[in-house]
Amino acid sequence: MAILPLPMEPTETLTETTLVSDRSRRFGDLRGVQWRIDLGILPSSPSSSIDDLRRVTADARRRYATLRKQLLVDPHLPKDGSSFPDLVMDNPLSQNPDSMWGRFFKNAELERMVDQDLTRLYPEHGSYFQTSGCQGMLRRILLLWCLRHPEYGYRQGMHELLAPLLYVLHIDVERLSEVRKTYEDHFTDKFDGFSFHENDLTYKFDFKKFSESMEHGNGSGKGSANASNLTEVDPKIQTIVLLSDAYGAEGELGVVLSEKFMEHDVYCMFDALMNGSGGAVAMAEFFSPSPFSSSHSGFPPVIEASAALYHLLSSVDSSLHSHLVELGVEPQYFALRWLRVLFGREFSLEDLLIIWDEIFACGNCKLNKLVENDFDASSGVLDSSRGAFISAFAVSMILYLRSSLLATENATSCLQRLLNFPDDVKLEKLIRKAKSLQALAVDANNSNPLLTQAGMFERSKSTVVRGHSLSLDSTSPRTPLTSVPDSYWEEKWRVLHKEEERKQDASEKQAPSNRKGWSEKVKLRLSRTESDPSPSSVDKRKKDPKLSVRRSLLEDLARQLGPDEDTENIVVDKHIDEKDQGVENGQDFIDENFACTSEQIGLSGNTGSEENSSIFSDPPSPINGVDNHGNESGRSSVASNSSLDENDGGANTADICGDNPEGSPRPVSDSPDDVSLQSGQNEETAAEKSMVGLKERKLISSKFQWFWKFGRVAGEGLSEKGQATDANKGCSGGIDHDNITGTSTANGGIIISSESSKVETVDQNVMVTLRNLGQSMIENIQVIESVFQQDRAQAGSSKNILVGKGQVTALAALKELRKISNLLSEM
Amino acid sequence: MVLVLALGDLHIPHRAPDLPAKFKSMLVAGKIQHIICTGNLCIKEVHDYLKTLCPDLHITRGEYDEETRYPETKTLTIGQFKLGICHGHQVIPWGDLDSLAMLQRQLDVDILVTGHTHQFTAYKHEAGVVINPGSATGAYSSITYDVNPSFVLMDIDGLRVVVYVYELIEGEVKVDKIDFKKTTAAADSTH
């Protein structure tokens, strides 16, 4: 009646960094049993005896056997066991889906799908997985599970979840046979030779008597483990023996490590894994396309889980997170595979078993009781410590690839790296890292990531942009970042530039000064970007970056409208000031700091002439529209995006200028391209507007930008000057497209013509952008006005750069701007 | 579980325009593995239609078939059973069991499928089974006008064949089932 001492209790004192295998768990070396306990099939309380385990096992197996009988359909047997089947319904060609044959065909279809996947399962371990016995078992299990859960059906990946479960049971059975060999005697049937105590129903081994009769010991196997008494044997071996004793509780059906009932056990494990055993992480949810019942976001659980992953990543390593977001790498692109097969595809089978040890060791009870029925308390599919570990592990995998991910600049190579996880990874490190992140993950999972996703993405993106832009940029532009092929933009650039040249030519009379001013301006800009601003200007600059931006915008606009004395004066003034290096007013900064937008706005502040004003009224809108559109369509790199941001048009250009001088012309060209595009679009949409004006503007801006670009690229004024002259030559009076195409400048009229056709083909919804433009213009105007007022107040001070005339023209330009914005808002 | 469809004597377009709609709705591609046709389709379009139901199609020549290159008789093996096909106008008296049994012995098959009489019959005798699927369209025959559309579906499963007979009687599809078991391969072949 000796009751065997139970195997040692699982130690609860674990440090965070120990792996599961380090802990002395109850069935440490019997993964199959351990996993069954973790998954909730077998009782997990430390006090449950072997018998309890056996009983539970037996019950589970019985359930499976009945299930099998129910679901495996033999169509020849009449339905409901009646001997007079209704043949009209039950014939093979019956369309009736309820008929035996209908079900048979459905099952056959399902089986075919399952088979497709199974044949490709673990080919590298084909010696086990590709054997027909194993395949048959897997097929049946999957088929039965899918029939039992028709709402999920069969999805690819389920077989990969199932295979390791079968594998661990297989390993256990092998271990058992090893032990059998070495400890043969313990496994012999002794039930006949002993008398039993009444109470000793379950244990047929009467070990005291056993030891007496077996004094000579086993003779086999382990030298020191030559124990004749089972109690003297290593407790682990004891366990194995008891678990596999055919005469223990429930007899053969209760043999926990049994080869015969492997299918039953694996089915139970698979079922528990998929259902989550009442916990939070139910793998089946990852396969369902419909939103989790209790989730508040309308997304499928796997999307939610991927978002939770990113959420955790953002709290752990925000720069990597923002980098990934910036590249447009959505979490579910790689997380889908990771989550659905619990990292089965990323690691080898042995490694995977270790990882799954860890995963299953975490409890699966829902941590977040649904307190409120609102956003925050959505219990996601990862809402348990197991789920937290899963997401923490995924994040640690991402972090492992950190350096290579940060190095890539395009989404596909990022995904490639994430999806081809390196083989030579130190698993312990990953697991330790995951454990350390686990606590964080619990919080991350609790807050519903997806509902804030949009905002988060916006925020993160804007953060990114902000990070790239200079400190001048105070409001965050919300420009998504996408990359645009170089050639397209360069073309646009050139076309725009052509047009700008033409514009330039129109003001031929002021050509020399204009040119000079232009080139000077470019040079100015260049020097500005490359040199530090003078202290006083720095202060001012810092104070009123926006003001300066807007001021230059205005000037650009004025310039575009038509070359004007005053405009020239402004330019000249600026130039002079630049020479003086006494630039303190923000305007210089404006000039320097702006690339495209400044050009667009034009130098001329004079809008007195009707013609000018009419042109004036048109250009800004497309430009701004361009800006807006640029913002919304999110072109090219960060710099360009910031430049295109119409909220902070000036700031953006400031960024560009102030930003790396070597910054690719491409960003700059983007804006003119945008401008041209937008103009083109405007042409399409705002037919009532003077399209010509639009085109003009586009041309001008492109020209300017081209200038700017060349100025930058060339590095100094020389080339600029050359370009300026070219541009000026290129601009021959007329302001229409044909003229532009006619003119063949250094940049080639071909591009222009192609551009024009391209422009026409572009169609967008600029209306909204235009409206926004109008509003921003109003803001700009206000800013500029205030600046002017400031200047006026400082009349006579050295800080006053603008001569009186310039001021007047600027004011006039402001008024025009206002008109334009009104028009726009009416649109 | 091999499903074999046996039909024949459609006589499209001469004597009937098409299969009955109820039959057509039942004949869905994908369920049937083989089709055995006794003959008298008569035109290529019918042949193509049958091909869409199942690519494995076996036809023998009936006297009205416009395709002249169908064979007179054909044999094939499905599972444990040997099947033989013949239109039946060659065997006189038409529809006579003993004469058909002679043909069966000649072809050395377990299941002989013939037509021409436009009447469904299924005989079992010691050597095997003789099945006549009738006319699938209900076309009149040389003998009688009173013809119900019918065809046969055989479910061959190991050593057992279940014959489902589908007849269109007064607009309703009636199904009947007949079970045949092959005794042993050896026993059969010696007969």
- The yes-or-no verdict on residue A568 having pLDDT over 70 is no
Q: What are the beta bridge partners of residue B85?
A: B74, B113
Average pLDDT, chain B: 89
Angle at A791 between CA A789 and CA A794, to 5 degrees: 115
**Cβ contacts from A onto B, under 8 A:** 33
pLDDT band with cut points at 50, 70 and 90 for residue B102: very high
User: B-chain residues within 8 Å CB-CB of A88?
Assistant: 173-175
Q: Which residue would you say has higher pLDDT here, A570 or A171? A: A171
Q: What is the pLDDT of residues B71-90, one digit of tens each?
A: 999 999 998 899 999 999 99
Lookup: tokens for A57: 């096992």
Compare all CA atoms of chain A with the CA of B162 and give the residue at the minimum distance: A76
Q: Which residues contact A234 (CB under 8 A, 6 or more apart)?
A: A225
The Cα A519–Cα A591 span in angstroms is: 12
What is residue B20's predicted lDDT score, i.e. its pLDDT? 92
The fraction of chain A above a pLDDT of 70, given in percent, is 39
Among A246-260, A323-337, A542-556, whose mean pLDDT is lowest? A542-556
Q: What is the pLDDT of residues A641-667, one digit of tens each?
A: 333 334 443 333 334 333 444 434 444
Sign of the CA dihedral with A6 first, then A7, A13, and A14 last: negative
Q: Which of B1, B26, B176 sits opposite A93 (nearest CB)?
A: B26
DSSP H or E segment with residue B111: strand B111-114
Burial class for B140, CB neighbours closer than 10 Å (0-12, 13-18, 19+): middle
Q: Which residue would you say has higher pLDDT here, A24 or B66? A: B66
Average pLDDT, chain A: 60
What is residue A196's predicted lDDT score, i.e. its pLDDT? 46
Among A59-68, A136-145, A378-387, A619-628, whose mean pLDDT is lowest? A619-628
pLDDT band with cut points at 50, 70 and 90 for residue A793: low
The Cα A545–Cα A652 span in angstroms is: 10
Which whole number is the average pLDDT over B112-129? 89
What is residue A730's predicted lDDT score, i.e. its pLDDT? 37
What is residue A663's predicted lDDT score, i.e. its pLDDT? 38
Closest approach of chain B CAs to the CA of A282, in angstroms? 36
What is residue B6's predicted lDDT score, i.e. its pLDDT? 94
Q: Looking at the complex, does the CB of residue B1 fall below 8 Å from at least one CB of chain A?
A: yes
- The yes-or-no verdict on residue A262 having pLDDT over 70 is yes
Contact A310, A363 (CB under 8 A): no
Q: Give residue for tokens 């072809």.
A: B107
Q: What is the pLDDT of residues A103-149, one digit of tens each?
A: 888 888 888 888 888 888 887 777 777 888 888 888 888 888 888 88
Q: Which residues contact A494 (CB under 8 A, 6 or more apart)?
A: A702, A706, A747, A748, A751, A752, A755
- The yes-or-no verdict on residue A464 having pLDDT over 70 is no
Q: Looking at the complex, does the CB of residue A488 fall below 8 Å from at least one CB of chain B?
A: no
Closest to A299 in 3D by CA, of A188, A381, A407: A381
Q: Give residue for tokens 């973790």.
A: A38
Maximum average pLDDT range among A87-91, A196-200, A555-559: A87-91
Give whole-number Cα distances, B99 to A389, B71, B91, in Å. Answer: 79, 20, 7
Give whole-number Cα distances, A65 to A111, A232, A263, A264, B173, in Å. Answer: 19, 38, 10, 7, 39
Closest approach of chain B CAs to the CA of A287, in angstroms? 28
User: B-chain residues within 8 Å CB-CB of A93?
Assistant: 26-28, 31, 153, 164, 166
The Cα A3–Cα A10 span in angstroms is: 20
Which whole number is the average pLDDT over A148-153? 80
- Sheet of B172-181: strand order equals B57-59, B34-37, B2-7, B150-157, B160-169, B172-181
The Cα A807–Cα A805 span in angstroms is: 5
- The yes-or-no verdict on residue A63 having pLDDT over 80 is yes
pLDDT band with cut points at 50, 70 and 90 for residue A494: low
Sign of the CA dihedral with A589 first, then A592, A593, and A595 last: positive
Q: Which residue would you say has higher pLDDT here, A253 or B140? A: B140
pLDDT band with cut points at 50, 70 and 90 for residue A367: low
What is residue B52's predicted lDDT score, i.e. its pLDDT? 92
Tell me how crowded residue A171 is: count the other CB atoms within 10 A of its CB: 16
Q: Looking at the complex, does the CB of residue B177 fall below 8 Å from at least one CB of chain A?
A: yes
Closest approach of chain A CAs to the CA of B105, in angstroms? 30
User: A-chain residues within 8 Å CB-CB of B31?
Assistant: 92-93, 105
- The yes-or-no verdict on residue A326 having pLDDT over 70 is yes
- The complex scores an ipTM of 0.78
User: A-chain residues within 8 Å CB-CB of B169?
Assistant: none
Which whole number is the average pLDDT over A230-240? 65
